[in-house]
Amino acid sequence: MRFLLGAKRAEGDDRLLWSRDIRFARRLAEVVPSGQVFELDAGIVVIGPANELTDARANQVAAAVHSPAFGLVTLDGNLPEGERHLMALSAAVQQSGLAERIGMAQTGQLMQTKMLDYFFTLKNVHTIAYQPIVELATGDLVEYECLFRPQMPGLQQSISNIVQAAIDTDRTIELDSFIVRVILSRVAELQAARKASGESQLHLAINFTPASLLDDQFEAKTFASMVRAAGLSTRQITLECTEQQAVSDIGPLIRQVKALRRLGFGFAIDDAGAGYASFSLIASLRPSVIKIDREIAYGIAHDDAKQALVEAFVSFGGRIGALLLAEGIERRADLAMLATLGVDLGQGFLIGKPADVPSKPRPMETLQLKVARQAIGRRVRAAGPRARARGVRVAAD
């Protein structure tokens, strides 16, 4: 991007704003004393220090000029100067929502490619957070979901943005392979330390996309060998299928899931009730766990329609031999309602926040739930042995 070759070299804390509204950008530049302005064919760029070019200041100026669309991102001082401005500009345009309109979608994909390249170089920098999953009736720990936390100095991105970039650039298999290998490596170290101190084995849920599950490197026996090489058993792992794209041919995925289950892996369908995770798809895959989308769990205590949907899932899960897991539980009333409706398992900030090391969930008695615990307890106690047989283990900790 030759138009930015004259920009000052970023010190790692500079920011870049892009907008098509020249009046807005120029007015903003007036209140950013150290800012630089660059006029482009497709808009205008303002670059300035992060302590001057803030979200609050940009929003304040935007409100005064009828709220034009804009994108505001941090320059990555770890990248070469040319790439640094290209990636920041592309990210800002994408953030504004105007990329397609101004013909910069291809530039957006270039930015995504470079962002992923940068992501893959940081193998030892990214972190893993562990969020507990419990039985709602007893509070007993079942397993931890491994949540990958990208750490990208100067270009912080959420894992959802990384996944979407991988989907858009056809690199989901490369991404899943990278994440799984990092997780297994970290867990192997953690497991060895826990074993030395006499702590119990870890039981973990790891996210995959369907495309990756069908790749040769994740063929059931090959993946089982990879897990064992990390000092884990297949019965310690639940594969969580996070589907963000439709599956054109379900047959190979069904066969792969069956092969994985025969080797002892658990299998969970994520985001049931949203996207492509339909009843027919779930019925075909026969998972050990069905994860109810967090949007359904949130506010369910006061939403008859959501309650009816969860009741249907509970009945459906019982018929195909799957446990129901509600994610994103943040309110006591929602937790009480989910338990009352017969949901077996739960996770969320109310139960336990993701942590750098596996931490115990909050004791259920501290939540003071007023639910019919006796009836719920009977159902979950009956489901416990079945859950273990299907790959969901109750872990003592």
CA torsion angle 89 94 95 96 (round to 10) = 90
Q: Does pLDDT of 260 surpass 80?
A: yes
* Residue 60: per-residue pLDDT: 92
Residues ≥6 apart with Cβ < 8 Å to 194: 200, 201, 202
Spatial contact of 29 and 46, defined as CB atoms under 8 Å apart: yes
Q: Which residue has the tokens 């030759």?
A: 2
> Residue 5 — pLDDT band, cuts 50, 70, 90?
very low
- The residue type of 264 is G
Q: What is the full DSSP assignment across 12-50?
A: SSEEEEEES-HHHHHHHHHT-TT-EEEEETTEEEEEEET
The arrangement of strands across the sheet holding 14-19 comes to 36-40, 43-49, 14-19, 70-74
Q: What pLDDT score was predicted for residue 10?
A: 43
Q: CATH top-level class for 2-106?
A: alpha beta
More confident residue, 160 or 342: 342
Task: Look up residue 390 and give its two tokens.
Answer: 């299907």
Residue recorded with tokens 């007036």:
30
First to last CA, the chain: 55
Per-residue pLDDT, 198: 78
Share of residues in the chain with pLDDT > 70 (%): 82
Q: Tens digit of pLDDT for each residue in 276-305? A: 557 777 888 899 999 998 899 999 999 999
Within the chain, which residue ranges are assigned CATH 3.20.20.450?
Answer: 127-390
Tokens of 304: 């008859």
Q: Specify whether domain 127-390 bears CATH 1.10.8.10.
A: no
Mean pLDDT of the chain: 82
318-330: pLDDT as tens digits: 999 999 999 999 9
Please give the pLDDT value at position 371.
Answer: 45
Q: What is the DSSP letter of 60?
A: H
- pLDDT for residue 113 is more than 90: no
Strands 345-346 and 323-326: parallel
Amino acid at 70: F
Q: With CA atoms as reference, report the closest residue to 183 among 228, 127, 222.
A: 127
pLDDT at 326: 95
Distance CA 145, CA 392 (A): 12
327/296 Cα distance (integer angstroms): 9
Residue 293, CB half-sphere, CA atoms under 13 Å: how many? Answer: 14
Pair of tokens at residue 380:
């979950």
pLDDT at 395: 42
Number of H helices, E strands in the chain: 14, 12
Radius of gyration (C-alpha) of the chain in whole angstroms: 24
Whether the Cβ atoms of residue 154 and residue 76 lie closer than 8 Å to each other: yes
**Residue limits of CATH 3.30.70 in the chain:** 2-106
Q: Give the mean pLDDT of 10-32.
A: 84
Burial of 254 by CB count in 10 Å (0-12 exposed, 13-18 middle, 19+ buried)?
A: middle
